[in-house]
């Protein structure tokens, strides 16, 4: 049928959940048997979010092919199970870099390079995924970050306008807005939506479908009003009420016919509504998982989005184990040997989070010592694993000054050291060990039990430092085993202390690979141990 294109934009305010709506559309079309991908265009000038502080941008999500991306790609993968790539996350910075590199090569043959048409042409090329080989897709869903009216997003809107004109019925525009409830007037207000649509129309884009985010149910009268003021069919005005869980959104959208409206706009016969059986089974399980399991999240970013994929991985693994994961953020900067017992009191298990730099690491070491000596299930991820290793060196191997070369390049006991291939790198952006690498598991280990029967797995990485193999035999002898190794470079990817209930650290980030229908085996095993 040829590829169809869906553009998702947002208006009124940010944080409306465009990523969740885009992921839901992807899921619903997939359930109808279509081959789909979802991509995100972000209007900032950074090449990727890899160098951004999580407080700026939330978690940095990593694709299998090693691109550092926006956290919405995590939603796309968790909802659809699709593996995204570097082609699915584009920024203004990357667009400009491509154009400027081309200009320096002389490819433009003396022309003046301008936002229109050169930047917009490059945006369109990427929206159409012209540089992706061997890809046969029925739908490409393109989400544009930011809010209508932003100066930054203007070239993206212009690209969408042109593409819609060129593609005709093969393109659909979905616009997400907000309908606020004014308590004093006891009224839901559609004016911001009308303004937002006007703004979009001013850019030459008539939305085909409106998704109205709302905290209260919108009756038909309000939907009719929006439809007639915004030139949109009534059946194309869909409401997205607050849901107890983001995973309810796809079925809620399906109930209101969002996917059917998209198909109708394109001119594809709608046919029967797919049953979404496994998804609904999951929701059923979620509904029944009421017993709480308290998990401590030891990290330094007190922000929901900073550890998004870890949180979702715990939620999902919890649901599949019939419990509701109650995640307690514990700021590692506040943890001391005297208060650690109190800080972690009541936790069935502890996650020691990834991170960079000195701030907050001593608290992570103290937490790792406490959970190791009290046999509390502990899962260290990336920097978290490195802190488990350092703690073990200081308190079991007797190297009081053990550290990571990242924190103290002069330390005599650099149990975590910079990887050889990293030593001559001076650029910060995109130069870490990134993306999926093989890991061979040691049969019989607890980590292997989780992944069983696989002996060779692939997980995603994002780090510069690693376990120093010069200390490996000392660790082994003292009871911390290396149970996952990269077969090509002999890097230690997983450590565990088998004498404890569950004390595992991974140099990789398993959280990126959890999906709704396939919770991650390590998180499953960790949650089971916590229960
Ligand atoms: N800062 C550590 C390193 O670069 C860990 C990184 C992380 O936790 N993602 O190796």
Strand 503-506 and strand 492-496: the pairing is: antiparallel
Strand segments (E) across 149-271: 171-178, 181-182, 187-188, 209-214, 237-241
Sign of CA dihedral 242, 247, 253, 254: negative
Counting from 1 in the atom list of ligand 1, the atom nearest the Cα of 382 is 8
Strand 181-182 and strand 89-91: the pairing is: unpaired
Which protein residues touch ligand 1 with a CB less than 6 Å away? Answer: 354-356, 382-383, 406, 462-465
d(CA 104, CA 85): 27
Q: Residue 151, class by beta-carbon neighbours within 10 Å (0-12 exposed, 13-18 middle, 19+ buried)?
A: exposed
Length of the chain: 531
Q: Is the pLDDT of residue 51 over 90?
A: no
pLDDT band at 263 (very low <50, low <70, confident <90, very high): very high
- Provide the CB-side half-sphere exposure for 490 (13 A, CA): 5
pLDDT band at 52 (very low <50, low <70, confident <90, very high): confident
pLDDT in tens, 2-28: 999 999 999 988 878 999 999 999 999
Q: Is the pLDDT of residue 355 over 90?
A: yes
Give nearest CA residue, ligand 1 atom 1: 356
Q: Is residue 88 within 8 Å of residue 73, measured between CB atoms?
A: yes
374 alpha carbon – ligand 1 mean position (Å): 26
Task: Give pLDDT, residue 94.
Answer: 97
Task: Give pLDDT, residue 494.
Answer: 98
The CA dihedral of 450, 453, 457, 460, to the nearest 10 degrees, is -30
Q: What is the mean pLDDT of residues 195-216?
A: 96
User: Residue 298: in which H helix or E strand, if any?
Assistant: strand 292-299
pTM listed for this prediction = 0.95
Q: Is residue 249 within 8 Å of residue 213, measured between CB atoms?
A: no
If one residue of 382, 389, 430, 437 were mutated to test the ligand 1 pocket, choosing by the most ligand atoms within 8 A of its CB, it would be: 382
Task: Give pLDDT, residue 394.
Answer: 97
Instruction: Look up 511 and say whether it is catalytic.
Output: yes
Q: Is the pLDDT of residue 420 over 90?
A: no
Give nearest CA residue, ligand 1 atom 8: 354
d(CA 119, CA 125): 10
Of 382, 463, 520, 530, the catalytic one is 382
Nearest Cα residue to 433 out of 403, 466, 457? 466
Q: Is the pLDDT of residue 480 over 90?
A: yes
Q: Is residue 40 within 8 Å of residue 73, measured between CB atoms?
A: yes
Task: Give pLDDT, residue 427.
Answer: 82
Strand segments (E) across 387-511: 416-418, 433-441, 456-463, 465-467, 481-485, 492-496, 503-506
Q: What is the mean pLDDT of residues 304-333?
A: 96
Task: Give pLDDT, residue 55.
Answer: 84
Q: Is residue 346 within 8 Å of residue 312, measured between CB atoms?
A: no
Nearest Cα residue to 461 out of 486, 441, 480? 486
Task: Give pLDDT, residue 425.
Answer: 82
d(CA 392, CA 505): 12
Counting from 1 in the atom list of ligand 1, the atom nearest the Cα of 357 is 1
d(CA 62, CA 73): 9
If one residue of 385, 387, 406 were mutated to test the ligand 1 pocket, choosing by the most ligand atoms within 8 A of its CB, it would be: 406
Of 175, 463, 509, 520, the catalytic one is 509
The strand pairing partners of 69, in sequence order, are: 61
Query: For every residue of 108-148, which 3-state class applies, written as one string?
Result: CCCCCCCHHHHHHHHHHHHHCCCCCCCCCCCEEEEEECCCC
Q: Say which range, 216-220, 291-295, 423-427, 495-499, has the weakest mean pLDDT.
A: 423-427
Q: What is the mean pLDDT of residues 118-132?
A: 96
Evaluate the omega torsion of the peptide bond into residue 395 and state whether it is cis, within 30 degrees of 0. Answer: no
């Amino acid at each position: 049928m040829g590829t169809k294109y869906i553009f998702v934009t947002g208006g009124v305010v940010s944080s409306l959940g465009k990523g969740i709506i885009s992921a839901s559309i992807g899921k619903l079309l997939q359930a109808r048997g279509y081959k789909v991908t979802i991509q995100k265009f972000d209007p900032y000038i950074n090449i990727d979010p890899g160098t951004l502080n999580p407080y700026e941008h939330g978690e940095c999500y990593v694709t299998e092919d090693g691109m550092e991306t926006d956290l919405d790609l995590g939603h796309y993968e968790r909802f659809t199970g699709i593996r995204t790539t570097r082609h699915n996350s584009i920024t203004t910075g990357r667009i400009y870099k491509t154009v400027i590199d081309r200009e320096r090569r002389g490819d433009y043959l003396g022309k003046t390079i301008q936002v229109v048409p050169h930047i917009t042409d490059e945006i369109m090329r990427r929206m159409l995924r012209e540089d992706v080989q061997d890809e046969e897709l029925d739908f490409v869903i393109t989400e544009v970050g930011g809010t209508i009216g932003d100066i930054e997003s203007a070239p993206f809107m212009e690209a969408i306008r042109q593409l819609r004109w060129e593609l005709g019925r093969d393109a659909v525009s979905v616009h997400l807005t907000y309908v606020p409830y004014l308590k004093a007037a006891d009224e839901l207000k559609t004016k911001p939506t009308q303004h937002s649509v006007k703004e979009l129309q001013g850019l030459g884009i008539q939305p085909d479908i409106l998704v109205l985010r709302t905290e209260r149910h919108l009756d038909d009268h309000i939907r009719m009003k929006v439809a007639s003021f915004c030139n949109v069919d009534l059946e194309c005005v869909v409401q997205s009420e607050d849901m107890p869980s983001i995973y309810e959104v796809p079925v809620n959208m399906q109930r209101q016919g969002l996917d059917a409206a998209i198909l109708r706009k394109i001119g594809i016969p709608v046919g029967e509504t797919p049953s979404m059986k496994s998804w609904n089974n999951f929701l059923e399980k979620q509904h029944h998982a009421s017993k709480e399991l308290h998990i401590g999240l030891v990290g330094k970013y007190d922000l929901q989005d900073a550890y998004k994929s870890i949180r979702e991985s715990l939620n999902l693994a919890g649901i599949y184990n019939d419990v509701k994961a109650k995640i307690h953020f514990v700021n590692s900067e506040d943890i001391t040997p005297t208060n650690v017992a109190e800080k972690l009191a009541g936790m069935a298990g502890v996650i020691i989070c990834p991170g960079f730099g000195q701030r907050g690491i001593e608290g992570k070491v103290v937490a790792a010592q406490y959970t190791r000596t009290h046999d509390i299930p502990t899962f260290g991820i990336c920097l978290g694993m490195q802190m488990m290793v350092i703690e073990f060196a200081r308190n079991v191997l007797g190297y009081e000054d053990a550290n990571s070369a990242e924190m103290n390049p002069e330390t005599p006991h650099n149990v975590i050291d910079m990887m050889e291939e990293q030593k001559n790198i001076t650029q910060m952006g995109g130069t870490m060990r990134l993306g999926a690498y093989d890991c061979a598991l040691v049969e019989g280990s607890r980590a292997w039990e989780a992944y069983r029967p696989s002996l060779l797995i692939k997980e995603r990485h994002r780090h510069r430092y690693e376990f120093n193999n010069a200390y490996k035999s000392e660790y082994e002898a003292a009871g911390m085993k290396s149970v996952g190794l990269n077969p090509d470079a002999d890097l230690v990817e997983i450590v565990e202390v088998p004498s404890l209930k569950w004390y595992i650290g991974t140099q990789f980030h398993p959280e990126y690979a959890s999906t709704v229908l396939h919770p991650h085996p390590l998180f499953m095993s960790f949650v089971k141990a916590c229960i």
